[in-house]
Structure 1
Amino acid sequence: MTAEIVVLVGNPRPGSRSRALAEAATEALVAGVGRTAVPPHGVQVLELATLVGVTFGPEPAVAAAAVDDPFELVRSARLLVVATPTYKGSYTGLLKIFLDQFGHRGLAGVVAVPVTVAASDAHLRAVTDALTDVLVELGAELPAEPLALREAALAASEQPVLEWADRQAGPVAEALGRLPVRA
């Protein structure tokens, strides 16, 4: 299974605001980049909470979704949108465990865009920096500024996402244009 665009959501709660923000960012970015840079072979959302089975209560953790090889799906993406809330000053442990499975430069040839949510500006900078650093270490190309929003801005309007996508569409389109065409 492959997809041109993969949205990787590291929130341990399915259906989170992080996922909604990542999907809105992806939609706005693809609209700005254009379908020629990212052919519409589909958007695949990988919500880690549903893939590995996470629980915060006494019930047993059971995965709700099955994906044959989520790692290959992420490696094969042309555009990877990685979303996480801030947990204890960084990205989530769930996302860390997933990303730790990739070797050095394991995401080479992938254009990645971090999307982060936090309660404070200090946490927003910390999570954005940490996620950016790990994606660079994994070899992903990060041509755009991360989309980083405070929780209070999530419900306000879609305007911050649209403005961000408008500024980042050009650099993302250029980076995607440098990637080899896949069969």
Structure 2
Amino acid sequence: MTIVVLVGNPRAGSRTRKLAEAVGSAIQDRLDSRDHEVGVLDLAEIVRVHFGSDPACDTSGPTPAHDADEGRDPFTTVREARLLIVATPAYKGTFTGLLKVFLDRFGHQQLAGVTAVPVAVAGSATHADATATALRDVLRELGAEVVAPLSVLEADLGDGPRIAERWADDHTATLVRSLTAPHGEPA
């Protein structure tokens, strides 16, 4: 099974990424199998966004920042994930525009069969919860089976690995039900 960590922070190598990787590792440890690969897609590193009409680009929106033969297409990687951890900081009370523009490239129900975990980081509990809820709603619209979101305050990021461990302890049973449910049936 492939576990994909999708990081929507516009700053590469962010604390949001470190938290998301900790969540991925904690889940991997609890799934009791070494067959689970954890891959990271940090949008700040792999996607460029074009706004308006750019003569060098025939579309607007996100495109891979590398040549097609340099690496796997990030959109395919996300579609083929079995477990998708989507992490973002709160910007202006919601998830980042970078993540929104990336997710907008997926059609309705294109993430059917994917179990998703929204992870939101913010300066206040209100913004963290609102961001996680908004992200949950978008992932559901795309067809993902969404388990309990994780909302974390920026001030608590120093305890990120411990927070990830606690979240995984609390939600592994739900994850396992979702991952083993027949396609299209809620856990």
Q: TM-score range by the shorter chain?
A: 0.7 to 0.9
Does residue 32 of the first structure (1) align with residue 30 of the second (2)? yes
* Counterpart mapping for 1:1-183 below 5 A: 4-35=2-33, 39-40=35-36, 42-53=37-48, 63=65, 67-142=71-146, 144-156=147-159, 158-179=161-182
* CA RMSD between the two structures: 2.0
Higher-strand-fraction structure: 2
Query: Separation in 1 of the partners of 2:93 and 2:99?
Result: 14
Q: CA deviation at 1:158?
A: 3.0
SS of the equivalent of 1:158 reads helix
CA deviation profile, 1:58-77 (whole Å, cap 9, x unmatched): xxxx9479533111110000
Query: Separation in 1 of the partners of 2:182 and 2:14?
Result: 31
Query: Separation in 1 of the partners of 2:159 and 2:173?
Result: 26
Q: TM-score, normalised by structure 2?
A: 0.83
Look up the match of 2:58.
Answer: none
Q: 1:9–1:48: 8 Å Cα contact kept in structure 2? A: yes
Percent pairwise identity: 51
Q: CA deviation at 1:174?
A: 1.1
- Runs (5+) with no aligned partner, structure 2: 50-63
SS of the equivalent of 2:16 reads helix
